[in-house]
Amino acid sequence: MAGYYTYIVRCADRSLYAGWTTDVKRRVRAHNRGTGAKYTRARRPVRLVWQAAFATKREAMRWEWKIKQLSKAQKEALCCRRQGAMYRATE
């Protein structure tokens, strides 16, 4: 059973932000309230564009790191591939 998630949100300025959480809906609400990441605070509203479920916190954090190493074009391709759907990331 998945309890950890890696996610990507699209900010109002069209930039992308990646993070990990145990509750995606709660985290997106926090970003939109301005209590999420400092990066998203000035770029509200944000919209969830991708998420993946993981069994462990370590896996979710690892995927967050991997996503943050991607170019914007690669992040866009990842989001477009399965936009709006739960996606189980694989290597």
Residue 12: pLDDT band by 50, 70, 90 thresholds? very high
pLDDT in tens, 43-87: 999 999 999 999 999 999 999 999 999 999 999 999 877 544 444
Which pLDDT value is given to residue 87? Answer: 45
Residue 1: pLDDT band by 50, 70, 90 thresholds? low
Which pLDDT value is given to residue 79? Answer: 87
Beta strands (DSSP E) in 1-91 are 4-10, 16-21, 47-54, 86-87
Which pLDDT value is given to residue 63? Answer: 97
CATH superfamily of 4-87: GIY-YIG endonuclease (3.40.1440.10)
Contact between residue 79 and residue 8 where contact means Cβ atoms under 8 Å apart:
yes
HSE-up of residue 5 (Cα within 13 Å, Cβ side): 18
d(Cα 89, Cα 91) in Å, to the nearest integer? 7
Domain ranges of the chain: 4-87
